[in-house]
Structure 1
């Protein structure tokens, strides 16, 4: 079985940060050529503000939590980490080493 060592990155945003999200997706795709990115929309969550963001049946909230995930070879991810360090608040992204399975 072949494996590849990669870095896995998770970025935490909210729907209210649409401009930041669109810019990040553009940079990951156009500038860093990351192989794939997945975006998840949460139904509930809170961050450093402590304000709870929830989806309600009668209220279509436009400020729900969003998680963006991606992984790639370590050398491709290192410049992305430098970009995130400049563009994102501390604590709004994490990364860790992982291994792909084939």
Structure 2
């Protein structure tokens, strides 16, 4: 059965930090402590941000600074409870909310 929900998606760079931690690690722990049912981090192969510099995977470069996407989905109410706080934590990036239809399959 599908229910209405909300997706919170955060785009940052690999090197983005929140409170001296990589942003993606901080946010995964943040969402876990807030009781969200799950959180997923994706590492991009290529992308660009507001500076228009293309970042891509290259085996000859030590520092890649690739794009990273962090996603959580839950009820709209739960996502909206944390949206503004997450937005204030992310200093350089993009925070998006989007309505979704969800079907949870739990063991």
Q: Do Structure 1 and Structure 2 share a fold, with TM-score over 0.5?
A: yes
Q: Which residue does 1:26 correspond to in 2?
A: 29
Q: Secondary structure at the match of 2:101?
A: strand
Measured at CA, do residues 90 and 79 of structure 1 come closer, stay the same or move farther in structure 2, by a change above 3 Å? farther
CA gap 1:67/1:57 in 2 versus in 1, 3 angstroms: same
* Cα distance in 1, alignment partners of residues 90 and 82 from structure 2: 11
Unpaired runs of at least 5, structure 2: none
Deviation at 1:33, TM superposition (A): 1.0
Work out whether residues 55 and 61 of structure 1, in 8 Å CA contact, stay in contact via their aligned partners in 2. Answer: no
With over 3 angstroms needed to count, the CA separation of the structure-2 counterparts of 1:3 and 1:69, relative to structure 1, is same
| Residue of 37, 40, 43 corresponding to 1:38 | 40
Q: Which has the higher helix share?
A: 1
> Which residue is 2:51 aligned to?
49
How many angstroms does 1:89 deviate by? Answer: 4.3
TM-score, scaled relative to structure 1: 0.84
Task: Describe how 1:8-87 pairs up with structure 2 within 5 A.
Answer: 8-18=7-17, 19=21, 20-30=23-33, 32-87=34-89
Unaligned runs of 5+ in 1: none
| Superposition CA RMSD, Å | 1.9
- Structure-2-length-normalised TM-score: 0.81
Deviates more, 1:68-77 or 1:12-21: 12-21
**TM-fit CA distance, 1:82:** 1.8
| The one of 99, 102, 105 aligned to 1:100 | 102
